[in-house]
Structure formats: C-alpha cells, structure tokens
Amino acid sequence: MKLLITGGAGFIGSAVIRHVLTQGQDSVINIDKLSYAGNLDSLDPVLPSQDYSFYQLDICDTTSLQEVFHKHQPDAVMHLAAESHVDRSIDGPGAFIQTNIVGTYSLLEAARQYFENLSQEKQKTFRFHHVSTDEVYGDLENPDELFTELTPYAPSSPYSASKASSDHLVRAWYRTYGLPILITNCSNNYGPYQFPEKLIPHMILNAIQGKALPVYGDGSQIRDWLYVEDHARALCKVLAEGDIGQTYNIGGLNEKKNLEVVQTLCSILEELLPDNPYSASSGKGFAELIEFVKDRPGHDKRYAIDASKIETELGWKPEENFASGMKKTVGWYLQNTAWWQSILDGSYKLHRLGEQV
C-alpha cells in the first residue's frame, strides 16, 4: 500500500510513520508544512528508507496536493495535519480555522478529484481516513457517562470547534460525492516525541530543570490518556479493516485527573532520578514544584471515551496501561535529551528540507 500521510512530522503522525515503516510492507508519502511543532528528527529511527518520501507543503495549497497525488498515486490518505494546542487556539484562532477547516477542505477536494479518476478496481480499495479528537464532543457532566460515536458535538474551544467543522466536511464529502471516508476520534495522547508545550512533556522538562509545574485551576479536570504507539496501531487497524463511512472512538481506558497525572510523573522522576541536581540542592521532592494557576477559559471538565466499538468490531485495545505508558514516556525523555534540547534552543528548525513537487 502507498499511504499518503499529512502531518507526518507531528507527534501522532510521526508515530504512525514509524509504525508503518517498521512493519516493512507499505510505503509512505509524508506531507507536512513544518509549522513550529513539526519535527523531522522524530522520524530518524526509521530513516533513510526507500519506502518514504517527504514534501514540505501546506495542505491549503490544493494545486501542490494534486501534483503529489498525481505523482505518487496513493492507495489511501491518513489526514493528521492540524493545529492542535487549545491555549494557542484561544490566543490566535485564525491559524486553526485556516489549517483545520480550509486545509481539510483543500485536501478533500484534491482527494476527490484523484479518486474520481481512478479505475473502478482502485476506487474499491481507496480510503480517506480523517483523524480527529474527542474534544469535539465537549465535556461530560455525568460521572458515569462516556463519549460514544453517537454523542452530539458540543465543542468548547476554537481548536475543538475547528476539528468538529473538519469532521462535518469529511462526512459531507462522503454523503455528497461518495468519497470513501473513515473518521476516528481519539482521547489525549502521550508518549515519546511529543512537543514540549503539551502537558506531560512540559511537566517532565520543567521538573528536571527545577522549574514550577503549573496546573490549571485545582487540577480536577479529567482526561482519558492514550499511549501514542497504541493510537498508531489503532489508526492502521481502522484504515485496513474499518467500514466505509464509519466513525471509531479510540481511547486509552485511563481516566485521570490532571493533578494525578502530574503527581504520577513526579513519583516516576523520583524513582528514575534519585540524584537529580534539583532534589539534591533543594532537599525537596519534585511534587513540591506543583503550582496552581488561573484556569483556562472554557476549560472542559471531563473527557472519557467508550472504545467498545473498535474493540468489538476490529479487535483493537490498548496494550499500555497508564503506569507502564507513563514510565516509558518519562524514561524516553530522560534518555533523549538531544531531541528536546534541539526544540528548546530552536535548532530543530534547521532540519527542514523536503522534495519539491
């Protein structure tokens, strides 16, 4: 299979590419704008590979997208390119509207035109897989309630509203034009190669540097945490075996309060770094770095996914529990200082050369 992946230099996209290329059966065409969070260093473990091509381009550039489709003739599209940080969407929603809505429209149009010119045999196997988030559902007030694939959309932030819009566009292209689509909505991802602005890597890096660990409000917000490599397996499973036109929720089955997440990684750091300079000099544990700060506007209280559909129909379930996944994640950041140091000092931006369309 030739798989065209958008956003393949991002956190989840790079995990999918590493998974696909490690299997050694399929080839990947990676399209990424390389915005601030795109990092080609995240693909170093599987490159160079003759089964990989990269193009640095914006998914809003329909003409360039069409040229990539024409050149590579992909068998499927997995659309992960997105602006995804809620705080940034509150400060500057325009970029989220442009990439997540306009960009998805441009990609859908390029894919539709390509699909309509395929042979009937090729059309039967072509797939457009749109990767989305559980944040489109809003939040849950009932502690026993879970997001299902039928939960009504009620987004709270510019980010989640833009992703909800893109979901609707994808479904419309299926209903109106017959584009064979799949949609997945996932819970909060964590794991290796996550950009340091996100909660877990941000707290790890702050802690080992002896900096404050800022927690919104009282830290009681609940999220379902999904290890990124489990997510990559799920996405490939849905692409290969999912029913056209269907939505699949992907969850880690690990509901945790934000404060509990931070406390857990502090405990792991105490175990893995008993001689950390911060602890040695201050005589304090990492948990004493926790500080409660003003809550985020429109902060959803609880997300929780019912992932029974993907388990029942496709046989997928997460391999990592929260304890094992968190220990792997903290250990990875401790062992891969060069990767995140290059982000902190900005040198990762130098690795930005792709093929020309």
Report, in angstroms and rounded to the nearest whole number, the Rg of the chain calculated over CA atoms: 20
135 is catalytic: yes
134 is catalytic: yes
For the CA atoms of 80, 85, 89, 93, the dihedral, rounded to the nearest 10 degrees, stands at -30
3 state SS of 291: strand
Tokens of 112: 């539709």
* Sheet with 255-257, edge to edge strand ranges: 188-190, 222-227, 255-257
Annotated catalytic residue: which of 105, 137, 159, 248?
Answer: 159
**H or E element, residue 13:** helix 11-23
Annotated catalytic residue: which of 134, 300, 306, 320?
Answer: 134
- Listed in order, strand segments (DSSP E) in the chain are 2-6, 27-32, 52-56, 76-79, 127-133, 181-186, 188-190, 213-216, 222-227, 247-250, 255-257, 290-293
3 state SS of 229: helix
* Length of the chain (residues): 357
Catalytic residue set: 134-135, 159
